[in-house]
A and B are shown apart, each in its own frame.
Chain A
Amino acid sequence: MHQLTLAEIARGLADKSFSSEELTQSLLGRIKQLDPQLNSFISVTEERALDQARAADARRAAGETGPLLGAPIAHKDLFCTQGVRTSCGSKMLDNFTAPYDATVVSKLADAGMVTLGKTNMDEFAMGSANESSHYGPVKNPWNLEHVPGGSSGGSAAAVAARLLPVATGTDTGGSIRQPAALTNLTGLKPTYGRVSRWGMIAYASSLDQGGPMARTAEDCALLLQGMAGFDTKDSTCIDEPVPDYSANLNAPLQGLRIGLPKEYFGAGLDSRIADLVHASVKELEQLGAVVKQISLPNMQHAIPAYYVIAPAEASSNLSRFDGVRFGYRCEDPKDLTDLYKRSRGEGFGVEVQRRIMVGAYALSAGYYDAYYLQAQKIRRLIKNDFMAAFEDVDLILGPTTPNPAWKLGAKSNDPVSAYLEDVYTITANLAGLPGLSMPAGFVDGLPVGVQLLAPYFQEGRLLNVAHRYQQVTDWHTRAPTGF
């Protein structure tokens, strides 16, 4: 039962091959048996899941239908889930039981999804390896000595190991697409504002976006359908109609113009990954796509700009963790300043502290123009590059990451070397564009992802291309040994 995709589960529940309760029992057993090897869950919500499954079965017996009704999911542990610990991977929120549901959580619960638990992540979503979690690192099911990527590493490892069919992730600089690439999944970061951020614990508010992680593009379409839409509670959410993402999955690719940016194939890219990316381009050409060389000349400035904007916004967002209203408080504070300093010094891990300090410095008097304002100007240059490119092409294609999954610990003492792994994903966040990573082969037994980027609100196009690719390739069906 664990091999089933979300689409197959929807069919099985609809034709009564199994009940949601049977499926939920089976997957909970699998999580109990296999997750100790992976550490992909922070909390498993067994009782709640079984209650939700029985309720979904009752709704179906009463005549209700829907592809998500009774289907299992897990949420990255930064989506507030009422009555459940929502830790954000941090000691700071280890004792935090969310008093309300994130919009994404309530929408999917209303559609009848069964929440099996909350997945592990880099602390406050700051990382590319899932090694900064207070709850310990997550292992990559393809090789337990390697990282699964991050920051949505728990969601990625759990879905890749067939502990469940789909999970939510969030992507601030690549945190859905990069772990999807490193674990052989399909992951989609929607257009900024497509999915509500309400109840999603903020890292960098102008970049954060929630999205689906699954084994197929078809499943991403089903899950995105349940997540997307306008929400008055999120002031940056965009009021734009949500199309039927499953309707055009099979649309022909004849004449589709795909741009290959030369900057994505330069120094730093593992040549074996470059070969696999070019092989995927050949497949798409056989499906009718036309390929063009393009240039995104400001791409090289994206990482420096990101590492000002994201820490600056983080230093502001994370000021709410003060030891007063919720979360961790230090023992025996001497005075209010001591309460703040020790609660934050003891409650935040090293990487979070580093980013808060970089942000505080960049925003401090005398440095604002040189750092934050300059970064936002570069952000516009990057957006302008994309707008110019999309005059000539419908989609942009390249590698998702320059390297396959690295060994646990290999980059943990050198933050900058880990930052450079996000070189291909960060630009989509700065420009607010939708991006998808899909499986495209293996290097030394480790998965490789291809990234597709589209103009604003063209998630459907990304899913269509990935789905057609997945009809003629079988990379996405490969499962890691032992799972």
Chain B
Amino acid sequence: MALQRSDVEKIAHLARLGLNEGELPRITDALNSILGLVDQMQAVDTSGIEPLAHPLEASQRLRPDQVTESNQRDAYQAIAPSTENGLYLVPKVIE
């Protein structure tokens, strides 16, 4: 089932991507062509096959719950678009 323009608008919203209205037809075509390729998967019989997440099937390593990093807030905030008193600034969220 091919994606419609409204589907693409919904996906773009989910991904928080602001698209130009004029680009929507081209993006819809491109996504449909990619999904057409991807849909070839549906013909593969995978019944009884376990999904593979890590190629070597390693499990997540655990470590002792200890502080290992020093505070580098100033270094990390030096590259932020906007900060004040150690906080990240964004447009007003609550009136």
Chain A residues within 8 Å of B, Cβ to Cβ: 95-97, 99, 191-193, 206, 232, 235-236, 238, 298, 301, 303-305, 307-308, 315, 319, 322-327, 329, 333-342, 344-346, 348, 353-354, 356-358, 360-362, 364, 370-371, 373-381, 383, 414-416, 419, 430-433, 456
Contact = CB atoms under 8 A, between A and B. Distances in A.
B18 A308 contact: no
12 contacts: A96-B79, A97-B79, A304-B40, A308-B41, A323-B81, A348-B17, A357-B17, A357-B31, A377-B52, A378-B46, A414-B33, A456-B56
Given A301-B44, A360-B11, A346 B18 contact: yes
Contacts of A192: 54-56
Contacts of A360: 11, 14-15
Given A206-B53, A236-B58, A99 B76 contact: yes
B71 to A, nearest CB: 13
The CB with the most chain A CB atoms within 10 A, among B72, B81, B90, B93, is that of B81
B46 A374 contact: yes
Contact of B52 (A338, A364, A383): A383
A419 B37 contact: yes
- Binding site secondary structure of chain B: loop
Given A341-B18, A374-B44, A381-B49, A235 B12 contact: no
Nearest to A414: B33
A378 B41 contact: yes
A357 B32 CA distance: 11
Given A307-B34, A315-B15, A375 B27 contact: no
Contact of A307 (B20, B30, B37, B81): B37
A358 B56 contact: no
B65 interface: no
Interface string B67-93: 000001001101111100000101111
B36 to A, nearest CB: 8
The CB with the most chain A CB atoms within 10 A, among B39, B40, B93, is that of B40
A414 B13 CA distance: 24
Nearest to B47: A377
A366 to B, nearest CB: 12
Contacts of A327: 81
Nearest to A428: B55
B62 to A, nearest CB: 10
A280 B24 CA distance: 48
Interface in B1-44: 3, 8, 11-20, 27, 30-31, 33-42, 44
Contact of A304 (B15, B31, B41): B41
Contacts of A356: 15, 17
B63 A357 contact: no
B21 to A, nearest CB: 12
B34 A326 contact: no
Contacts of B3: 361
Contacts of B11: 357, 360-361, 364
B38 A371 contact: yes
Contacts of A308: 38, 41
A97 B80 CA distance: 10
A333 B91 CA distance: 7
A340 B49 CA distance: 39
A377 B51 contact: yes
A377 B33 contact: no
A-B complex: 7 closest residue pairs judged by Cβ atoms: A432-B55, A345-B18, A341-B18, A376-B51, A377-B46, A329-B81, A380-B52
